[in-house]
Amino acid sequence: MPDQAWIEGMPEHLDFESDGLRRYWVQLDYVHDNRPQRLAWPLVVCRRGRGPSVLVTGGTHGDEFEGQIAATELIHRLDPVRVSGLLLIAPTLNRPACLAGARRSPIDDADLNRRFPGLAGEGPSAAIARFVTSALIGRADVAIDIHSGGEAMEFVLSSNLQGRPGSPDLAAGLPALMAFDAPYAIVFDEVKAEGAMPHRGTLEGAARELRKFAISSEIGGAGRVTPVSMQVARDGLRNLLHHFGVLKDPAARLAAQSRSRLLLLARPEHYLAAPVKGHFVPRCWLGDEVERGQPVADLYQLDSGTLARQEVRAPSSGILVAAARRGPVQPGEDLLYIAEPFSP
Ligand SMILES: [Zn+2]
């Protein structure tokens, strides 16, 4: 059962306006298998006076752990006296998936980050998306949604921002991207290629639709946490909350002091998919510089009569920022992402 300091609350009875710290188990009603069900969903609301409104979310994908833990640590150490404005913390966004340690909800098999804004649908994922869009994103100026690569992929430790090179929106958002101070800061943009980022139905997309500022990350992945990935998530969240002014911290690093290497992931040739089925064996790894045409991986077709090996070459020059974690892959599955150095 929830701790004494946590209180149960129906969505319509939550207090977002009074000063103070409130820890809620939000009671989200949904229908599953034609039966009414209820999900208890943790949310921390902390307001002190007027100021920026910032939403922090972890666990949009349940197999990405750094965000869930960084948001939980923030709840544990939060001192309301240091808050200016409104801070909303939802550490386990797709809670059923988080508890299962899986990308998708075991209840409705939904990828929550394809379900926003959640206007339709009756399962738990739609109920979460609907509540987050209307009650949380609607109140926030800024959404910080912390992701990692999950079971399927591993990324360089990076902050992420969607933006079009040369646009005023990107110029305005770059200081936040750099303030995160991860080893890499990646700008990504719409790509026509199938499967490439950004996808439809994301929390960030829902935030941008409402003209809110949304920032994200890809902090490692491969379905596990490392001490370094955890520290990058922890420091990045602290730096961002300081940057936006909602939670000042003298230890925070400023955007102007950022050590992040700025990269662009925005063209079809930045994404390398498997041309054939096979066992994926990368020849280079995250952070490596590669040249266009360089062999970067092999696919071993162990089920072919000749046990054939197919060489896979880099479609562009740049830095290897993501790699598939699986050995056996199907044609069209993502193998490697190659980002290019970017100076706005
Ligand atoms: Zn994710």
Structure confidence by residue, pLDDT tens digits, 162-208: 999 999 999 999 999 999 999 999 999 876 555 555 567 899 999 99
Tell me: pLDDT of 325 over 70.
Answer: yes
Rounded alpha-carbon distances, angstroms, from residue 224 to 228, 229, 234: 12, 9, 16
The SS3 call for residue 7 is strand
Counting residues of the chain whose pLDDT is more than 70, the rounded percentage is: 96
Helices (H), the chain: 65-77, 95-100, 124-131, 168-179, 203-209, 227-244
- Ligand 1 centre from 210 Cα, in Å? 21
Q: Which CATH number is associated with domain 6-265?
A: 3.40.630.10
- Ligand 1 centre from 59 Cα, in Å? 8
Question: In the prediction, which pLDDT does 189 show?
Answer: 86
- Ligand 1 centre from 103 Cα, in Å? 8
Structure confidence by residue, pLDDT tens digits, 40-76: 999 999 999 999 999 999 999 999 999 999 999 999 9
Largest distance between two CA atoms of the chain: 71
How far is it, in rounded angstroms, from Cα 70 to Cα 91?
8
Q: Which pLDDT band, with edges at 50, 70 and 90, does 4 fall under?
A: low
ipTM: 0.99
Q: Where are the domains of the chain?
A: 6-265, 271-341
- Ligand 1 centre from 290 Cα, in Å? 26
The SS3 call for residue 85 is strand
Structure confidence by residue, pLDDT tens digits, 106-135: 999 999 999 998 888 889 999 999 999 999
CATH architecture designation of domain 271-341: Beta Barrel (2.40)
How far is it, in rounded angstroms, from Cα 228 to Cα 75?
21
- Ligand 1 centre from 67 Cα, in Å? 10
* Edge-first strand listing for the sheet containing 328-329: 309-313, 295-300, 278-282, 328-329
- Ligand 1 centre from 303 Cα, in Å? 32
Q: What is the rounded end-to-end Cα distance, in angstroms, of the chain?
A: 50
How far is it, in rounded angstroms, from Cα 136 to Cα 138?
5
Q: Which residues contact 211 (CB under 8 A, 6 or more apart)?
A: none
Question: In the prediction, which pLDDT does 256 show?
Answer: 95
Counting residues of the chain whose pLDDT is more than 90, the rounded percentage is: 90
- Ligand 1 centre from 23 Cα, in Å? 25
Q: Which residues contact 155 (CB under 8 A, 6 or more apart)?
A: 148, 149, 218, 219, 220, 221, 286, 321, 322, 337
Compute the C-alpha angle 233/319/299, nearest 5°. 105
Tell me: pLDDT of 270 over 90.
Answer: yes
Q: Which residues contact 141 (CB under 8 A, 6 or more apart)?
A: 52, 53, 54, 212, 213, 244
How far is it, in rounded angstroms, from Cα 285 to Cα 296?
9
- Ligand 1 centre from 58 Cα, in Å? 9
Q: What is the DSSP string of 180-244?
A: T--SEEEEE----STTPSSPTT-HHHHHHHTT-EEEEEEEEETT---HHHHHHHHHHHHHHHHHH
User: Do residues 173 and 161 lie in contact, with contact meaning Cβ atoms separated by under 8 Å?
Assistant: yes
- Ligand 1 centre from 263 Cα, in Å? 19
C-alpha radius of gyration, the chain, whole number? 20
Question: In the prediction, which pLDDT does 2 show?
Answer: 44
- Ligand 1 centre from 46 Cα, in Å? 26
How far is it, in rounded angstroms, from Cα 267 to Cα 285?
20
DSSP 254: P
Locate tokens 């150095």: which residue? 341
- Ligand 1 centre from 177 Cα, in Å? 17
Mean of the per-residue pLDDT values of the chain: 94
How far is it, in rounded angstroms, from Cα 157 to Cα 186?
10
Angle between helix 227-244 and 168-179 (nearest 10): 130
